[in-house]
Amino acid sequence: QVQLVESGGGVVQPGRSLRLSCAASGFAFSTYGMHWVRQAPGKGLEWVALIWYDGSNKFYADSVKGRFTISRDNSKHTLYLQMNSLRAEDTALYYCARDLYDHWSGYYTAPLSDWGQGTLVTVSS
């Protein structure tokens, strides 16, 4: 079965950096687009970033553009989120999630079918 396990969260000071990881198993990782979605404490969901199955295209929410970088290592079945210049408003539970369709389906976009349990990032001095 699909399994997504996030790690790398923690407490970090404003302006510092953090890298999150998401280890994937149970499916052909290299054929699916992958996302990061975050949820501030007690708040709703906010989409953060998408990377295509082969890493050739990346898309970001305006709130993180220029500060966060999504990447993947298909040989390690792992998704990453490099977060720089962190702000208090970046405090959230960060989920990784998988597209419903694989690359070969022909769809240019997809809903998020499988989610990890999240890793908590707290930005505080």
Partner 1 sequence: EIVLTQSPATLSLSPGERATLSCGASQSVYTNYLAWYQQKPGLAPRLLIYDASSRATGIPDRFSGSGSGTDFTLTISRLEPEDFAVYYCQQYDSSFTFGGGTKVEIK
Q: What's the CA gap between 24 and 123, in Å, rounded?
A: 26
Q: Is 71 left (phi over 0), alpha (psi -120 to 50) or beta?
A: beta
Confirm or reject binding of residue 111 to partner 1 (CB under 8 A): yes
Q: Enter the tokens of residue 60.
A: 């970001």
**Near partner 1 by CB under 8 A: residue from 5, 45, 52, 77:** 45
CB 1 within 8 A of CB 98: no
The answer to whether residue 52 forms part of the interface with partner 1 (CB under 8 A) is: no
Q: Which of 50, 81, 86, 121 binds partner 1 (CB under 8 A)?
A: 50
- In the numeric block, the tokens 């993947």 are attached to 72
Round to whole Å and give the CA distance between 85 and 115.
26
- Least distance in angstroms from the C-beta of 54 to partner 1: 19
The answer to whether residues 32 and 53 touch, using CB atoms and an 8 Å cutoff, is yes
Residue 14 CB, shortest distance to partner 1, in Å, is 26
Indicate whether 51 belongs to the interface with partner 1 (CB under 8 A). Answer: no
Quick one: which segment of 14-22, 41-49, 66-74, 84-92 binds partner 1 (CB under 8 A)? 41-49
Which residues of the shown chain bind partner 1 in the complex (CB under 8 A)? 35, 44-47, 50, 59, 61-62, 95, 100, 109-113, 115-118
